Amino acid sequence: MSDINKLPEANQTDKNNSNENSVELNKDQEIESTPTSDVETTNDVIEENKTLEVEADKTENEDEGAPDSVKDHDEVLNEIEESNAEDAEDEGNKDRHKIEVKEYDSMSLEALAIELEKLLKNEKVQAIKSHVDNINTVFKTKFQALLDEKKEDFLNDGGNEIDFYYSSPVQKRFKEAYKAYRKKVNDHYQSLEKNLKQNLADKLEIIEELKGLLNVEENINTTYKHFKELQERWRNTGPIPRDKYNNAWNSYHHHVEMFYDFLHLNRDLRDLDFKHNLEKKLLIIERAEELAQDDNIMRAFRELQELHKMWKEELGPVGRAHREEIWERFKAATKTINDKRQLYYKDIDKIHEKNLETKLQIIANIDAINAQESNSHGSWQKKIKAIEEQREAFFNAGKVPIKVNESTWAKFKESVRTFNREKNTFYKGLKKDQYKNLQLKLDLIKIAEDNKESEDFEVTTPLMKKIQSDWKKIGHVPRKDSDKIWKQFKGACNHYFDRIHAKRNAASQEQVNAYNQKNELLNTLKGLKLPSDKESKEKGIVIIKEQIKQWKTLGRVPNDKRYIEGKFQKTIDDLLTSLKMDKNEVEMIKYENKLDNINTSDDTRNLDNERFYIRKKIDEVKSQINQLENNLQFFTNVDDDNPLVKEVHNNIKAHKESLKLLKNKLGKIKELY
């Protein structure tokens, strides 16, 4: 206990004081005392012993009629006494208080296994029992939940419950660590039992030697030094069985008192001990009062137990004038710490009750999800995700009061099991449909495989497109077969269509030559300079139209080179823009070029689509013009110079110009028909 290291070492101080006193006394001189002083000293020691007995047995001999506050305080003193008796049997238990208590409920299975291994490696085995028990409980709970989930998946995939088996590397790792812990525990307690018996024998021997001090005829300094050595031996002797602890300590304490009675022959030695004990007890009180201000109440209470142990086991009585005062002061600090501890436990109870409310709400949420009807795979997947979120929230909600822990867990488990039963029922029915779907898709795969090498593209292509459409309409198949059959079907279809594309993309030498010639022409056009003055405008248009005509005469290019047509169109657009001419006229020239490109295609659908588009735009513009002209009727007694009226007239004019252009475009399309 590091905070107490500032207390002076009892044995060393006693030895020093004994040596100092021996200097004052003549080794060869008998110590004289008058009968009067003998009687007074003896009476003082008797009173001291009485007070010491009361002090040592405060927790056992209080009046039954004491107030509740006194009784409550006595209970905490009894608790401290019992805890110290337990520690006396196993000194390693003190180390358990230094081990951090972690949130095991929120850890993963692997993290729990690692934490168990760390505790086993770094801590004393007798100090980690509560930690290991908590880890073991949480691990079993979480692994069982995982096991249930794996079992559900197994059954959903068509497995038989009797054939289900699941093992996990993390489970094996945890079991090995827990087995090692159990072995270390057994080895520890076998060794401890042997040591406890030997330590008890050693302490009983010390008591016998204490008895013998009262009958020894020798110099009092020598006897006193022997007494101090026995005290040192007692403190250094290890733990003894807890059921022997109180009897052994009481016997030892009794004979220590008897020796102090014997010391009435030398008041100086006794007073020196009284002074030394008072100094150390005052330090203990000061530390207890510091702990009463500590915010970490559990740490403070654990250290308080150690202080009580030192007060009882390591220190003797003090002078009569200080006995009641220091004991009351020590009790007051003890009461303050205990009152704070009781408040802490009340807060913990509130937290546990709040956690219980949270967990009961989670169970209610699961029951509500169970009540929802689901008739599709998608809806069940959403419910599965929602239940998983609720399960995680339940495990992370923290501890609940011990009295309802089992019942709360049972409710949670039953709600989850209800969900799993309903889910399994749905997916068992779904499995039948999935196997029917599987057979349908296998039939489509056979058709695709049989026709993937066909040369009759006109007949086979519509067939391959149809089976692709049919595949999409068929529902889900068992998950274990889904990827496999899809890859097989996709492979056959891709093989067929890759053959078509390869044939279509096999460009003739004529198309390759056309591409090369168009590419040369395109490069020439990029450097073409057109006249910019108004008189030469017509000449520029003639030049551009000649280039377009020449481009058309070069013929078609390979399908994978058709991007060159877009480049040519952009170049022509740039040339027309550079001419200083009416924008509608430029637009019509561009449009004629566009129609020429459309008309060169063997597929007339593109031209039909363009005619439909132009007619639709004409109708839209007409409608907009009518709307604007109607709007003008609402302006009465308003001058034409009004900004709003002028804006409407401008819009009507712009729409009419656009309508004229669209009609010209439609006329060009009709010419092509």
347: left (phi over 0), alpha (psi -120 to 50) or beta: alpha
Instruction: Determine the Cα–Cα distance for residues 178 and 174; give it in Å rounded to an integer.
Output: 6
Ranked by mean pLDDT, the top range of 466-475, 549-558, 604-613 is 466-475
Domain ranges of the chain: 431-504, 507-600, 609-673
Q: Please report, to the nearest 10 degrees, the dihedral formed by the alpha carbons of residues 237, 243, 244, 250 taken in order.
A: 100
Q: What pLDDT, on a 0 to 100 scale, did the predictor assign at position 58?
A: 37
Residues 6+ apart with CB under 8 A from 28: none
The DSSP output letter for 619 is H
User: Which of the pair, 233 or 573, is modelled with greater confidence?
Assistant: 233
How many other β-carbons are positioned within 10 Å of the β-carbon of residue 621? Answer: 20
Distance CA 108, CA 110 (A): 5
**pLDDT at position 620:** 92
| C-alpha triplet 335, 341, 346: angle, nearest 5° | 130
The predicted pLDDT at position 83 comes to 61
Considering the entire predicted model, what is its pTM?
0.38
pLDDT at 18 over 70: no
Q: How would residue 535 be classed by pLDDT, with cut points 50, 70 and 90?
A: low
| Residue 115 in this model has a pLDDT that exceeds 70 | yes
SS3 for 15? helix
pLDDT higher at 271 or 168: 168
In sequence order, which residues have a C-beta less than 8 Å from that of residue 153 and are 6 or more positions away? none
Does residue 343 or residue 633 have the better pLDDT?
343
Give the type of residue at 117. Answer: E
Instruction: Give the mean model confidence (pLDDT) for residues 389-415.
Output: 88
**Residue 544 — very low, low, confident or very high, per pLDDT cuts 50/70/90?**
confident
The four Cα atoms 661, 667, 669, 673 give a dihedral, to 10 degrees, of: 180
User: Mean pLDDT for the chain?
Assistant: 78
